[in-house]
Amino acid sequence: MKYVDEFRSETLARDLAATIAREADPGRSYAIMEFCGGHTHAIFRYGVQDLMPGNVSFVHGPGCPVCVLPIPRLDNAIEIAERHKAILLTYGDMMRVPASKRRSLLKAKAGGADVRMVYSVADALKVARANPERQVVFFAIGFETTTPPTAVALLTAEREGLANFSVFCNHVLTPSAMQQILDVPGQSIAIDAFLGPSHVSSVIGSAPYERFARDFHKPVVIAGFEPLDVMYSALMAIRQLNEGRAEVENQYTRVVTREGNLKAQAMVAEVFELRDSFEWRGLGAVPGSALRLRERFRAFDAETRFALTPSTGTDVKGCECPAILRGQKKPLDCKLFGTVCTPDNPVGSCMVSSEGACAAYWSYRRHQAGEHMPAEDEAFGEEAVA
C-alpha cells in the first residue's frame, strides 16, 4: 500500500477483523498494551477496539510524554518563569497541565510571567537571539523522538555562544518505562504483548525491545499509527501468543529499522547522558529512564543555572491518571472523569495532552457511549479518510 486512504480502507479493515476473530483462541484472552498515546487515539478514532473479538483488549500505556511528567517538574518550570523572570518557552500541550495547587503555565502567564508557546526548539533559539538581555529557557520534554532536535539546538547554542539560552531537560526513555511496567509488583492487569511506539522506534530502532521478548517472554510488535497498522500489528501479536513465541516484529517497516537513526543517536549521545533515576507520574522513580546534559553543556542547563529546588507537589486526590498510565485503570474508572475533570477544566494531565487516554475517551465520545460504541459506520467513512 502507498497512500494513506489504503491504510484506512473499510473493506480491508473488515477482512482483518474477520481474520483476527478467526485466529483469536476463544479459550484465552489477549491483553495488548499500546505504549504510545498516538496508538491510543488511533484505536479510539477509528473504533479499532470495536472491531476486535471480546477476548482481545487494548491496555493504555504511559506513552504520553506530557502525561508522565510529574508535578514537581512542572512546579520547577513555573519557578523559572515566575521567580527567576526568565522567558520560558514550551510546547502547547504543557500550557494547561495542572501543577501544584491547580496552577499551570497558562495561569502563570495570566499572572504576568513571560511564558510563550513555541512549535519547535528552533523557535526557542530565535527568541534567545532576539532577546540577548533576557534569560531564555526551553522546557524540553518528550521521548526519544524529540530529543535529537534539542541536541541540535544545544550544539547550535554552543557554536553561537548564546549565553542567555538554556534547557530545562525532561527527556525520558521508552524502554526503561516498559521495564518498570513489567517489574511493578501486583500489576492488576496482565499484559500479554506490547505494541511498540512508532516514532520513537524510528530513532532508536527495534533492537532495544529485544530484551523484553527474551527476558519477560512478551511479544513486541512495532506498529504504525493508521488503523490497519494497529489491527495488523494486533494480529501479529496474537499469532505470536498462539504459537508460544516472544519476538520483536516490525510491522512499521516503511519507517522503522532494527538499527534506527544512527546519526540522531550519535548526536544525542554527544549532548546527553543518563540520569541515575527520574520520577515518572504513575511509575515512580525509574532508574536510568531520563537524560541530562553532559558536563560540556552544563552552562546551558537550566537546573544548574537557576539552582532549582525540589518541589513536593502531588496529584489531586481522586485523580486516577497515575493508575491509567500504568495500565491498571481506564478513564471511565476515574470518578472525576467527565464531572470535575473535563477538557475545559482538566484535573489530570491525561485529560490535557493530545496523546492522553482521558482526552481520547472524551474526544471520541467514550464517556457517552461506553466502551463498545458501534464504529463501522463512522470509523472508516469519508470523514476519517479526508
Residue 3: the pLDDT is 65
The predicted model gives 171-195 an average pLDDT of 84
Report residue 362 as a C-alpha cell.
472524551
**What pLDDT, in 10s, does the model give residues 237-254?**
999 999 999 999 999 999
Distance of alpha carbon 202 from alpha carbon 173, whole angstroms: 14
Q: What is the DSSP letter of 290?
A: B
The lowest-confidence range among 7-16, 121-130, 202-211 is 7-16
Question: pTM for this one?
Answer: 0.89
Average pLDDT score, the chain: 90
Pick the residue with more confidence: 6 or 23? 23
- Residue 189 pLDDT level (bands cut at 50, 70, 90): low
Distance of alpha carbon 95 from alpha carbon 116, whole angstroms: 9
Report residue 17 as a C-alpha cell.
477483523
**What pLDDT, in 10s, does the model give residues 274-322?**
999 999 998 999 999 999 999 999 999 999 999 998 887 788 889 999 9
Can you count the helices (H) and strands (E) in the chain?
18, 13
Distance of alpha carbon 44 from alpha carbon 235, whole angstroms: 18
Q: Residue 138: phi, psi to the nearest 5?
A: -95, 125
The predicted model gives 123-151 an average pLDDT of 97
Distance of alpha carbon 292 from alpha carbon 133, whole angstroms: 26
In this structure, is the dihedral angle defined by the CA atoms of residues 330, 335, 338 and 344, taken in order, positive or negative? negative
Distance of alpha carbon 112 from alpha carbon 115, whole angstroms: 9
Whether residue 185 has pLDDT greater than 80: no
The predicted model gives 194-216 an average pLDDT of 96
Among 224, 176, 187, residue whose Cα is nearest residue 327: 187
Q: Identify the burial level of 190 via C-beta atoms within 10 angstroms of its C-beta, where 0-12 means exposed, 13-18 middle and 19 or more buried.
A: exposed
- CB-CB contact of 200 with 38 (8 Å): no
Pick the residue with more confidence: 216 or 377? 216
Which range of 45-49, 78-82, 324-328 scores highest in mean pLDDT? It is 78-82
The lowest-confidence range among 79-83, 200-204, 325-329 is 325-329
Distance of alpha carbon 366 from alpha carbon 355, whole angstroms: 15
Please provide the DSSP assignment of 76-111 as one string.
Answer: HHHHHHHTS--EEEE-GGGGG---GGG--HHHHHHT
**Cβ-count burial 11-42 (b if 16+ within 10 Å, e if not):** ebbeebbeebeeebeeeeebebbbbbbbbbbb
Residue 309: the pLDDT is 85
Distance of alpha carbon 193 from alpha carbon 223, whole angstroms: 12
> Which CATH superfamily is 1-314 part of?
HypD, alpha/beta domain 2 (3.40.50.11740)
Domain boundaries, the chain: 1-314, 321-379
Distance of alpha carbon 363 from alpha carbon 312, whole angstroms: 32
Whether residue 367 has pLDDT greater than 90: no
- Residue 353 pLDDT level (bands cut at 50, 70, 90): confident
Distance of alpha carbon 81 from alpha carbon 77, whole angstroms: 7
The predicted model gives 91-112 an average pLDDT of 93
Residue 6: the pLDDT is 80
